[in-house]
């Protein structure tokens, strides 16, 4: 699990369907850098080759994840849906700033079993300091 803020791993009981991992890595503050790195590694480890969807507050941009990608993935074998559908640079935090001035630290990622076919940023944060991101994933023939 992530060290400071809980994450959840949901696995289908009958083995049919994706493993869904809701993640929340600790923020990369000076005093938390070791834990942040450990959290990102744990998240990457949750996406081995297989049927996986990761979603949540990664507290990291794609640039931070580069060393954790495997075989073209951004985190383990998972690929960022927004980055592959034209919204990868749209910032989600803080919601008080325009998307182009915010950091894209919230993500939905999926293994090769899924093809991202769309994404949208929800500009009305509803009181949160993060914008929401919605993605459309379709079963892939690669999976």
Task: Specify the CATH number for the domain of residue 65.
Answer: 3.60.10.10
Q: What is the pLDDT of residues 45-99, one digit of tens each?
A: 999 989 999 999 999 999 999 999 999 999 999 999 999 999 999 999 999 999 9
String of DSSP letters for 19-55: EEEEEEPPP--GGGHHHHHHHHHHHHHT--SSSEEEE
pTM over 0.85: yes
**3 belongs to a structural domain:** no
DSSP, collapsed to helix, strand or coil, labels residue 99 as helix
Q: Which helix (H) or strand (E) holds 116?
A: strand 114-122
Task: Answer yes or no: is 1 within a domain.
Answer: no
In-domain check, residue 121: yes
Q: Kindly report the average pLDDT of the chain as a whole number.
A: 94
Residue ranges making up the domain that contains 30 = 8-139
- When divided into structural domains, the chain yields a total of 1
Instruction: Examine residue 2 and state whether it is found in any structural domain, yes or no.
Output: no
């Amino acid at each position: 699990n992530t060290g400071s803020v809980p994450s959840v791993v949901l696995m289908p009981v009958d083995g049919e369907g994706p493993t869904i991992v809701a993640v929340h890595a600790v923020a990369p503050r000076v005093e938390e850098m070791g834990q942040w790195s450990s959290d990102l590694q744990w998240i990457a480890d949750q996406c081995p080759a297989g049927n996986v969807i990761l979603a949540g507050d990664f507290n990291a941009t794609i640039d931070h994840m580069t060393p954790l990608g495997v075989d073209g993935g951004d985190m383990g074998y998972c690929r960022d849906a927004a980055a592959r559908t034209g919204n990868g640079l749209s910032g989600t935090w803080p919601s008080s700033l325009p998307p182009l001035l915010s950091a894209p630290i919230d993500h939905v990622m999926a293994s090769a079993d899924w093809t991202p076919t769309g994404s949208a940023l929800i500009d009305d944060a509803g009181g949160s300091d993060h914008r929401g991101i919605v993605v459309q994933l379709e079963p892939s023939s690669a999976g």
